[in-house]
Amino acid sequence: MATLMEISSQPDTAGETESVQRLQQQFPGAILATDNFRGQQAVTVKAERLLDVARFARDALKYDLLMDVTSYDRLQLGEEPRFVGVYELHSVQHNRHLRLCVPVPDDKKPQLPSVTKIWPTANWHEREAYDLMGIRYKGHPDLKRILMPDDWVGHPLRKDYDINREQVPFTVNWGDPEFENMGQQILEPIVPAMEIPDGMDHRHLVINIGPQHPSTHGVLRLITELEGEKVVRVDPDLGYLHSGFEKQGENVRWKDFAYYTDRMDYLSSMSNNLGYVLAVERLLNIEVPPRAQALRVIMAELQRIASHLVALGTAVLDLSGTSMAFLMYAFRERELITDIFEMVSGGRLTLSYMRIGGLADDVPPAFDYKVRQVLEVMPSRIDEYDRMLTRSAIFRGRSVGIGVLPAADAIALGVTGPMLRAAGVPYDLRKLRPYCGYDQYDFDVVTETGADVYARYLVRVNEMRQSLRIIQQALDSLPEGPVNVDNPKIVPPRRELLDQDMEALIHHFKLWTEGMKVPAGSVYSATENPKGILGFFLVSDGSAHPYRLRVRGPSFVNLQALNEMAQGQYVADLIASLGSVDIVLGEVDR
């Protein structure tokens, strides 16, 4: 279907309004309310009619990409009913966005119909919502916990969940009976009988690839069913790195969550920062000055190059073993970029350079020179990769036709980023829904048609070239001026001012004692991260803390396609496919 199709380059707001009207005409009783906040259309749908509305939205209105399924608990908002299911729909073809809000009828036993039949990508999202919010999805093929352990009691994202329940031992509470057994090791090894997971054939070999395995890019466990060396089924087991960022977000101030985003996809912290601050800025309805925008673009594109370098390096590592030299070549180039990051933010991995309302600080004078150095060096280095890999017969033999995920399947599974573009869909939010002034720059959306591991490799390599183009343009036309909005209620005053200006001192005091207030409402904001679309769904109740903060991690969604890609291929291809997804477990588990 969607091979190199025409995609409208501007967000189709008129079409979005029209979609809402058509839904109202089609389902007069089912649409309870409509809402347009910060230019985003939201429709409140009755839970009983959700499946009909969803099917109509997909088939008639062409909302083919289900971006996110989530939910929030309105207990402290005092609204009825308590739970609301949220569905973020996107139309790839028409470039439209629509949110369905579905109040969950029963507060005691919340249940919604599952939309996995309509959008397969809902599978993991619904499992996550079940796991963390406790909403049951009727008709879900395999509704079980996904991030928390199977024997966990309670659902952490509910507002009445006691976050202090799990004690951490400190000297003050060391006498607590909970810690009596601490320090006593299990001396006798217990060898449990191997249980074949549900749905797997006992005549096949079932192996655990991970959580301690060289190629799982972190702590991921792939329960793999093998027939000989052929993969029959892969069942990823997640949650080893689950750190509850979404719950944390509800307990820190708006400003402070930016630091958490660094730790999600730690290979592209600049891009995560950008995604988060843009979401909050949309809620605040502010726009940062041009210089900050251009600098944000430069940083995001540098980060894209850095992230792709690691992706390529590790993907090749997965095909060749630790002795192959390419990984270190990629890291040599990445080093130049991390040096720039260190120069502007002081960090090399977790940066937190972008702040709500602008940037942490302006760039130092040497910035220009350093970035130009990257611009000068990188093209020849990318050509070197071409010589080393693109034309290598062994590399092609290992990657062409491996892990194929055609465009239709990719969209159905919610796959975005280089994986979707490798299937021939020119879907790139920088072009389609430009943010940070991406529309000022001239660049191409890189696509390939192979939809395999090799195509994903090519997309990443060529995207680095396009990123260099963007950086070049942004750097050449970098405007002068402030890098923060002129609003002391959002951006803290500079340190010098505190000694001279009483008003600055008061603002500073207010910002640090009460925090920044964000208007009530809910927004969804998506940015094109190196790995795919990073979405933030924010609900604000007007206070200094997020009321609900949902992260749609591209790695999480893209990983879901692994089973699809690896079935029927060899173990070695499973590893190659996994490498081409480019996951970071910090983001998968969040």
Partner 1 sequence: MDWTYLLIVTVKVIVVVVGLLGGFAYMTLVERKVIGRFQLRIGPNQAGPYALLQPIADAIKAVFKEEIIVTHANKVVYMLAPAISVGFALAAFAVIPFGPDIHLFGRTIPLQIADVNIGLLYILAMGGLGTYGLILGGWSSGSNFSLLGAFRTTAQIISYELPMGIFVASVVLGAGTLRLSGFVEAARPWYMWIWLWLSFPFYFTVMLAETNRSPFDLPETENELISGFQTEYGGIKFALFFMAEYINMITASAVMTTVFFGGWRGPFVAQWPLLGVVYFTIKTFILLLLFLWVRASFPRLRYDQLMSFAWKLMLPVSLIYLAITACLVVLV
Give the footprint of partner 1 on this chain (CB under 8 A): 189, 191, 205, 207, 213-215, 229, 316-325, 327-329, 332, 389, 392, 394-395, 397-398, 570-573, 575
DSSP letters of 178-211? GGTTTTPPP-SPP-PPPPPPTT--TTSEEEEE-S
Q: Confirm if 104 and 111 have CB atoms less than 8 A apart.
A: yes
Nearer to partner 1, 200 or 408 (CB): 200
Q: Are 588 and 555 in contact (CB under 8 A)?
A: yes
Task: For residue 570, give the DSSP letter.
Answer: B
CB of 222 to partner 1, least distance (A): 11
Q: Which amino acid is at 295?
A: L
Question: Is 217 or 430 the residue whose CB approaches partner 1 more closely?
Answer: 217
- Least distance (Å) from partner 1 to the CB of residue 319? 4
User: Which strands make up the sheet holding 546-552, listed edge to edge?
Assistant: 521-529, 532-540, 546-552
The angle subtended at Cα 216 by Cα 326 and Cα 389, nearest 5°, is 25
C-beta closer to partner 1: residue 278 or 576:
576
- Reference 544, options 490, 504, 473, 583; nearest CA is 490
What's the distance, CA 350 to chain centroid? 16
Provide the minimum distance between the beta carbon of 521 and partner 1 in the complex, in angstroms, as a whole number.
48
Report which of 148, 145, 161 is spatially closest to residue 75, judged by C-alpha positions.
Answer: 161
Q: Nearest distance from residue 384's CB to partner 1, in Å? A: 12
From the CB of 212, what's the least distance to partner 1, in Å? Answer: 8
CB nearer to partner 1: pick between 202 and 495: 202
3-state DSSP call for residue 574? helix
Does residue 573 contact residue 584 with C-beta atoms inside 8 Å?
Answer: no
Tokens, residue 85: 């299911």
| 49 or 213: CB nearest partner 1 | 213
Taking Cα atoms as reference points, which of 131, 139, 148 lies closest to residue 112? 139
- Shortest Cβ distance from residue 397 to partner 1 (Å)? 6
- Exposure string for 263-293, b = 16+ CB within 10 A, e = fewer: bbbbbbbbbbbbbbbbbbbbbbeeebbbbbb
Using the minimum distance from each CB to partner 1, give the nearer residue, 27 or 570: 570
Q: How far is the CB of 566 from partner 1 (least distance, A)?
A: 12
**Chain-centre distance of CA 127, in angstroms?**
17
Amino acid at 312: L
Residues 6+ away with beta carbon under 8 Å from 502: none
Q: Please, which residue, 242 or 398, has the CB nearer to partner 1?
A: 398
Q: Nearer Cβ to partner 1, position 278 or 316?
A: 316
Assess contact for 413 and 560: CB atoms under 8 A: yes
CB of 388 to partner 1, least distance (A): 8
Q: Are 103 and 83 in contact (CB under 8 A)?
A: yes
Cβ proximity to partner 1, 189 vs 365, nearer residue: 189
**Euclidean distance between CA atoms 94 and 357, whole angstroms:** 31
CB of 555 to partner 1, least distance (A): 19
Of residues 327 and 471, the one with the C-beta less far from partner 1 = 327
Least Å from the CB of residue 462 to partner 1: 20
For residue 446, the one-letter residue type is V
The least CB distance from residue 406 to partner 1, in Å, is 22
Structure tokens at 156: 């952490």
User: DSSP secondary structure string, 61-130?
Assistant: S---EEEEEEEEE-GGGT-SSSEEEEEEEEETTTTEEEEEEEE-S-SSS-EEE--TTT-TTHHHHHHHHH
Cis preceding-peptide flag for 211 (omega within 30 of 0): yes
Q: Which is nearer to partner 1, 222 or 356 (CB)?
A: 222
Least gap, CB of 392 to partner 1 (angstroms): 7
Q: How many Cα atoms occupy the beta-carbon half-sphere of 535 within 13 Å?
A: 25
Residue 260 or residue 329: which is nearer to partner 1 going by CB? 329
Residue 488: helix, strand or coil by DSSP?
coil
8 Å CB contact between 518 and 542: yes
Q: How far is the CB of 124 from partner 1 (least distance, A)?
A: 25
**Residue with smaller CB distance to partner 1, 274 or 319:** 319
